[in-house]
Structure formats: C-alpha cells, structure tokens
Structure 1
Amino acid sequence: MTVAPIRALPLDVLRRRSSEKWREYPEDVLPMFVAETDFPLAPAISTALEHAVRIGDTGYVASQTPLAQAYAAFAQRRFGWTPDASRIRSTADVSMGIVEILRRVVSPGESVIVTPPVYPPFFDLVDEAGAVVERVPLHDTGTGWELDLDGIDAALATGARAVLLCNPHNPTGSVHSRESLAALAEIAERHGAVVVSDEIHAPLVQPDAGFTPFLAASDAAARVGFAVTSASKAFNLAGLKCALMIAASDEHASVLRGLPVEVEWRTGQFGLLAAIAAFSPESDPWLDGLLAALDENRRLLGTLLAEHLPGSRYRMPDAGYLAWIDLTDLGWGDNPAKRILREAKVALHFGPAFGAEGRGHVRLNFGTSPELIREAVQRIAPLVGR
C-alpha cells in the first residue's frame, strides 16, 4: 500500500519558531544545518502535550511510568525486537545517557573508539566521561561506508576499552548490517570491551533498508552492549528531553540500575509524555508518512545536486534526513559550508566538525519541504565555477 507523505509547515510558520534552527541566523539565511525537522507534530503527541497543559501536568517525572513498555512495543512493531522493559531506564537525552554509561564501564584515561566522520559531540562526550578518543574511521567502499572491523580489532588489542557506535550512522545515513554488528560484538567480547550504540536515528530507517538494533544482532551483542535511543530525532522532540538507556544482560542491567536516581530524574515530564505518545501505535501512520516524505526528499536532492552542482558527490542515505555531500572537487576548501553561508545564504553543517574525514564535505538537513530543498541548491549553484 502506498503511504501518503506528510508535508512540511510553510516557511512563514517555521520562521515563528524559537528553536536553534530558526534563531541562529538572520532571516535571509536558509537554515539546513542542525537536526530539527520542519513537519507538524504527530497528532498523538500534540494531544498528549495539550492535555498536560490543560490539567497542569508539569511536575516531576514519576518513578513508575509506561515509557519502557511503550518503547518495547514500538521496537517489536518497527524492528522485530522486544527489549526487556525491566532493563530500560530514562534520562534527559542520548548524549547524557552515553556519558553516564561510559563513566561506569571505562576508567579515566582509557580509550573509547569512535568511527568518523561521526556526530561531532561524540568527541566531547568521550572526553566528558574522562576517557580518550581513539579514531577508527569508517571504511569507504566506493559505494558506501562500513565499519573498519580490522581497525577496531587492532585498537581494542592495544588497549581501547569501548566502542561508541552510531547505528544508524550520522552523518552518512548508513545502516550497519546484522553481520557487521555481530562481528563487532565478537571482537568486543574477545577483548573484554563494551559497545555503546547510539540508535537515535533508528526509527528513520527506510523500509527497504531494514534496521538491526545492536543488542539484537547476536547473543554476544546482548552481552557486550548498551543501547541509547530517543523519539527526539524522528518526532522532532529534542527540546523536551527524554531518552532511553537499554541493556540486554543482567550484568549491564545492574549497571543501569546502579546509576544515581538523579540521572533518571533529569528526564523531562513533557519529553516523557511526548515519547510515550510517539511510541504508541497511534503514531505509526504519521511516522510512515514521514518516511515517505524523506524518501521523496532524498531522491529529489540527488537529482538537484546532479543538475546544479556537477562535481559534488552524494550517496543517498538509507536512514535519517541528513545528507553527507562531498564538495571537494569544487575547490571550495576544507570547510565549504563557510563559503556557502557567506555567499549563498544557506546554512549547512560544517564538514570538518565530524572529524578530519569531513574536510571538503557539508551535511545538509533535508527534513523539510521539497520547495526549500530546491531553493537551497539553487542558491548554491551560482557559486560553481566562481
């Protein structure tokens, strides 16, 4: 059955928003940088938040909530995986969850592997946890990106104690295969290491790509892994503050239970209510419509880049709404987003922020209307050859 795509809000409405995307730059700049989307909220979320406001349900998060059960049911419907709700705890956001877990599985000064080009805060989160970043870049196959399993094995053999995994990967939109994740788990287990998997983009995997949660990849993955996820990227809830930390073994569940109660109390009440609504079956049609819209947009972007920015290199992502675009051959320097912002008035995420592998690249957010994607590329096009 064909799913009707949802449509983004009009520009005049979006410019009334007060979030980072719409306040960082002047109104003559088209913002396509930070990971916020331009779609209306899922109706179930709006209803839940409106009800809470009407009755003043704005207090502390309760010690017992249906969030874990709601996520477990969502994961079963969307991924064919049912995590044990008793092994799930919440916190404010995925970054906080990553830091709190790393603090308890890695000793100060030990190394944590990251796989650049990767979400820029990963570098800071490892440092915040008291550890040291060990870079093992993704392997570029020529048609996509894969984990460098041999490189990870070598880094763990020389002392790294954990892997901070991005699954699906930001900024490339790559979805790691079950086989790759299972192999990673075996490597980690052989070295006595831990894998912390950031799965915030998991609900945004396109249906034809499929998604394997790390903890479901194999028995070894369940033993060595933690997952941290949220409804915030798919449902545009970042400002409401709610994420989930998930274990699949008794040992790792005890790590989560041992976290200070304040870690869970940092969960936002509105974030919790919105996440429960997002993970409910009522929101599934909205999410399917979002995926249909993003599918159209990722394909449109490829057509526009080929037409207006010859020399750019773009691989259509399998997940998310973030495009990783190589502009090296256009000769716009290591950080082409700076020139694009200055001369075309389009704000893109700076490629070098994702690691040295991001030189010459930009990240473009296509979680918006086709009209704004078209305008962004057409604004950039006159820079070619200048």
Structure 2
Amino acid sequence: MDKFIDRKNTSSVKWDGMKAVFGKDDLLPMWVADMDFRPPEPVLEAMKHRLGHGIFGYTIVGECTENAIVSWIKKRHRWEIKPAWLMYSPGVVPSIGTAIQAFTEPGDKVLLQSPVYTPFFNMIENNMREVVNSPLQMKNGRYEIDFNDFEEKLKSGVKLFLLCSPHNPGGRVWTKDELVTMAELCRKYGVIIASDEIHADLVAPPFKHIPIGSLEPSYADFTLTFMAPSKTFNLAGLQSSFMVVPNEDMRKKISGIHMKEGFFTLNTFGTIAMEAAYLHGEQWLDDVLAYIRSNIEFVKTELAANLPELEVIEPEGSYLIWIDCSKTGLEDKELREKLLEKGKLAVNFGDAYGPGGENFIRLNIACHRSIVEEGLKRLKQAFS
C-alpha cells in the first residue's frame, strides 16, 4: 500500500475520465470509489496462471468459487449461507436493477434513505418506478433513522426497500437494533429488502457489519443481499458480484429477469479473481484497513487544525469520507467552483446523493498518503 502507482493512461475512470464528468482533466482525483492499491498478489498470480492457458471461453462459476464465497461470509460476517442461495451479476448496481424488475411493476413505489448512493435514484427512475424517500437524520455528527417516518413511508404502498449497509456516502454501520427494526417493519408491511452490502468488508473495529439477512431465518425469506469483492480487493473493473437469495421463489423470479436480459455467466477473470481473493486475500485486507484508518485519522487531524469549518462525518465503514461544508457559507454551485477551479480537486459533490446531501463532499482516501496530503493542500487552497 505504501507505494505510489501511476494509474494515468490505463483507461481508468477515476484518473482518465475526469474531463467527461468535470469538464477538465487537470484535477487530482479523489472521487470514484475504487482504490489506488494493487490487489492481493495471489489474485494477480491466479489471473496470470489462467492467462497462460490462453483460451477464454464461457466460464462457469464452479464449486471452488462458491465454497470460497461461503467460507468468506461465514468467517468475516458470521453468516452460514448455502451455495444454492448464490446468484451472480456483473455488479451491485445491475443487481439492484434486476431486483426492481423482478419484484415491482412500473409505477410501484421503492423506498430509499437519502443522502444515498446516486444509482439508487437512477435505477428506480430508469425502471419507471416511484422514488419514496425516508431521509436520514444527522444527529451529533452521525446519521440516524427516523423510524416514525420510515414506517409512514412503508404504509404508503412501498413494494421494495433499497438498504445501503454500510451506508454510502455517510459511512454508518447499522447496529443490530437498527437492522432488526427495519426488518420487522418491512415484514409488517410486506416489503422486500434489497440490501447493498458492497462495503461490508471495509469495516474496522470497534464496528461490525451485520448482514440484515443473517439476523433471523425469517428475515432471509424476504431479503436479497448484494455483495462483491470489487470494493474489498479493488477488482471493480472485472465486474463480478453475487447475490445471496435464500428464498427459492425469489431466485426463480431473478432467473426470469436474467433470461430476459440474456445474462448467464460471469467474466472469466472476474470469477478467478473473486475465488483467489476470498481464499487468500484476508491478510492483505487487514493491512489495507489499517492503512485506510491511518489516512482517515490524518484527514481528521489536518482538517481540524487547518480547516475547522469543514466537519468530518466519522466513517464507521468504507474508505469514503463524508465532509460537511455548510459552515463555509457556500452554496453547492460555489462549492463546486471553488474545488474544481481553485483547488483543482475532483471529489463527489453531495447534492448528487439526494436531499440531505447539499453542502457535502465525498472524499476517497483509499490511496497513497502522498495523494491524501496533496488533496488536503488543495482543499486548503480552494477555501483560502
């Protein structure tokens, strides 16, 4: 991790795709949620070995890969799942789209909790469903759920609830009590839960990620859990993810959508990388989590000393820092101009995450410390 790797000219969205998003490419990229770290060496070796074979026909997800996923989830998240529950997808966002198509009809209501990962809104709207929002409440620098509002929204005829756990961009790791309350209310009103848990592995002590479907066997019956090695091991470009779907009837509905889409198998190298990562990547991940935590503490210390008007929302999970800029007095447009024009810094701007995201920025610190240091200099420059 403590080695800078130049990613320019690799067709990287993060490093080479800024002009299309921000209108300029002379920026320091601390936006897209991928790391600047090389994956575990056993993953690279497994891919090299497969490359040496030289034939890359259609590839099944075999028993070894399934067992690697099952073992990983049991060890890291204390959830014993069955291989038969596993279904596959190119990514968590496509999985969300599949769930929306499988369990709702055009015009149906789908619940989310803003501010939240932008594709939640996009996938609901692109599939001609209605967004129903139960906004999270910021209390003492930490997001909480307004359960009265949550229940009122469920009562309105919601069919599907998109849960972000751990939360992106706010970094909350939901507690057992919070998860149980959400699950019980969804059961009460007959609402299916689709839980995006892509950041599940990026939680460091004392916090602990709990898959909502693991809390009680009956919850698993109306819960879809979306996971992937992509964020955990920096494999997003290989486009391999999986769903945990214990309910057989729900699996049949998902299979029906996959048939309509023409999807039937994963990328060859994505499958190989996923298996190798879950079998051999644990020590690498623990080292990465320690490095990320060090970067988070560095950002908190530096901002407190040099830019106290910027408030860091403590990330309990993920490598994304959600920063409240409201005390600067700048509107979102002014904030954007300051950071892009004066600071030359590419971040994700909070207004894209729905109501409650205004005046926030999201900073990706899964990178070499020198990039973090330069990013903070540019933040200071932007607000000077």
Q: 2:303 — aligned with what?
A: 305
- 2:224 is aligned, of 212, 223, 226, to 226
Q: Which amino acid aligns with 1:20?
A: V
Q: Which amino acid aligns with 1:97?
A: S
Q: 1:30 — aligned with what?
A: 28
Q: Which moved more, 1:157-166 or 1:62-71?
A: 62-71
Q: Which amino acid aligns with 1:181?
A: L
Q: 1:292 — aligned with what?
A: 290
Residues 338 and 350 in structure 1, CA contact (< 8 A), matched pair in contact too: no
The Cα of 1:383 is off from its aligned counterpart by 3.3
The Cα of 1:222 is off from its aligned counterpart by 1.2
The Cα of 1:53 is off from its aligned counterpart by 1.4
User: TM-score scaled by structure 1?
Assistant: 0.93
User: TM-score scaled by structure 2?
Assistant: 0.93
Q: Which amino acid aligns with 1:277?
A: A
The Cα of 1:370 is off from its aligned counterpart by 1.7
Q: Secondary structure at the match of 1:260?
A: helix
Residues 142 and 314 in structure 2, CA contact (< 8 A), matched pair in contact too: no
CA distance in 1, matches of 2:31, 2:66: 31
CA distance in 1, matches of 2:336, 2:58: 41
Q: Secondary structure at the match of 2:201?
A: helix
Q: Secondary structure at the match of 1:196?
A: strand
Q: Deviations over 1:296-320 (max 9, x none)?
A: 1111110111122121111220111
Q: Which amino acid aligns with 1:365?
A: N
Following superposition of structure 1 onto structure 2, how do residues 116-265 of structure 1 map, counting pairs within 5 Å? 116-261=114-259, 264-265=263-264
Change (3 A) 1:121 1:181: same
- 1:325 is aligned, of 317, 323, 326, to 323
Following superposition of structure 1 onto structure 2, how do residues 351-370 of structure 1 map, counting pairs within 5 Å? 351-370=350-369
Change (3 A) 1:338 1:78: farther
CA distance in 2, matches of 1:352, 1:57: 46
CA distance in 2, matches of 1:337, 1:237: 29
CA distance in 2, matches of 1:332, 1:341: 14
| Structure 1 unaligned spans of 5+ | 1-5
Change (3 A) 1:259 1:65: farther
Q: Deviations over 1:241-288 (max 9, x none)?
A: 1110111233333334444345653522211111111111x2110011
Q: 2:10 — aligned with what?
A: 17
Q: Deviations over 1:34-68 (max 9, x none)?
A: 11111111111101111121112422122645333
CA distance in 2, matches of 1:33, 1:143: 22
| Structure 2 unaligned spans of 5+ | 19-23
- Count of residues paired in the alignment: 377
Q: 2:377 — aligned with what?
A: 378
Question: Matched residues, percent identical?
Answer: 29
